[in-house]
Every structure is written in C-alpha cells, then in structure tokens.
Amino acid sequence: MDELVEGAKIVYELSKKEAENINQFIANHPELHPAGTKVFADQRVPATVVLSRGPHNAGEERLAMRLDAPTPVEKAYHVWVSDLHYTNGAWHKVENGE
C-alpha cells in the first residue's frame, strides 16, 4: 500500500493527540454528532482520500485523507497524504521522529 489515489477508501488509526482534539471538537459542536459520541487513541476509523485545499481553502489543491464521519466536509478532519505512513494494517500520521 505505497500509493494513495483520490477516492481510495482506507483505514486510519487515531493517535492519542488526534483523539483528544476530535473529542474536543465533538464537545464544542454537539449539533453535529449524537450524544455520547467519542473516539479513542488507536481506534481505527474509515477514511477517504480526497483533493483538498486545506483549512479555509487557502492552499494549493493536493491529496489528503478525510475521516468518514457525519461532520460537514468543510469541518472534517484531514491529514495530508504526504504526512501518512502505513504500518500494521492501517494508515497513521507521521509524528516527529518517526
């Protein structure tokens, strides 16, 4: 699984920091998720490879991974494909030092 292309369906594994950030977003936007929704570190979630311009459509269009969730597309969690690596059956965001 070396190459990701637009439209690819993948499995993404959340880091502890990502889970904390997503749970904070859910808490701040209760209208977007059912009550009691939480994610956890090491949780594997479905995602799709998309073309994105980044936050506020401010940058050049490039490939990103977007979590498949009920969140509106413009608020969905994205990670640039260039920041991902594949290990143990799932994609992960490259952290400093990896």
Checking if the pLDDT of 40 tops 90, the result is: yes
Mean pLDDT (the chain, rounded)? 88
Count CB neighbours of 45 within 10 A.
19
Mapped onto helix, strand or coil, the DSSP state of residue 95 is coil
Other residues' Cβ atoms within 10 Å of the Cβ of residue 33: 16
Domain layout of the chain by residue ranges: 9-93
Phi-psi region of 36 (alpha: psi -120 to 50; beta: other; left: phi over 0): left
**What residue type is assigned to position 65 of the chain?**
M
Tell me: the pLDDT tens digits for 45-85? Answer: 999 999 988 777 777 889 999 999 877 777 788 899 999 99
What integer pLDDT is reported at residue 76 of this predicted model?
82
Question: 39 with 45: CB under 8 angstroms?
Answer: yes
Residue type, 36: G
| DSSP annotation of 46 | E
Percent of the chain exceeding pLDDT 90 equals 60
Residue that the structure tokens 């965001």 belong to: 93
